[in-house]
Copies of this chain bind each other. A is one copy, B any other.
């Protein structure tokens, strides 16, 4: 079971991470060690060719991984990204983006996870992310 609900996570973003909240990503699913997010398409997200901008994919992946970490350690913790690596695989279509994040390893100090990004309705991954969060001493 997740230690934080989708509603609590979205409220946390609105309070304390206005930039991320501004993307208006929706937490579709949040269980212990797994999160699914949907980023509703907006015209200002595009870059030439009608595709979703790379930095938005990175921001969405970082957000999804943040939720996965909080699902495991709870809302009280302050966790920060230490490393993020993204491979852009295919040009995303001008539609919603779906992010599927899962924990690969939850350690005492570091949490490592993987995020797969898709254009809504298309099974071909548009980008693949791995990210590491540092977890403060508990």
**A116 CB, nearest partner CB in chain B, Å:** 9
Instruction: Please give the number of chain A residues whose Cβ is less than 8 angstroms from any Cβ of chain B in the complex.
Output: 46
User: Copy number of this protein in the oligomer?
Assistant: 4
Judge whether A45 is part of the interface by a CB distance below 8 angstroms: yes
Beta-carbon contact of A109 and B112 below 8 Å: no
Beta-carbon contact of A87 and B59 below 8 Å: no
A20 contact set on B, CB distance < 8 A: 47, 53, 55
The 3 closest A-B pairs by CB, nearest first: A55-B59, A89-B105, A85-B85
Interface residues of A (CB under 8 A from B): 16-20, 22, 43-49, 53-56, 58-59, 62-63, 78, 80-91, 104-105, 109-110, 112, 114, 124-125, 128, 130, 132, 134
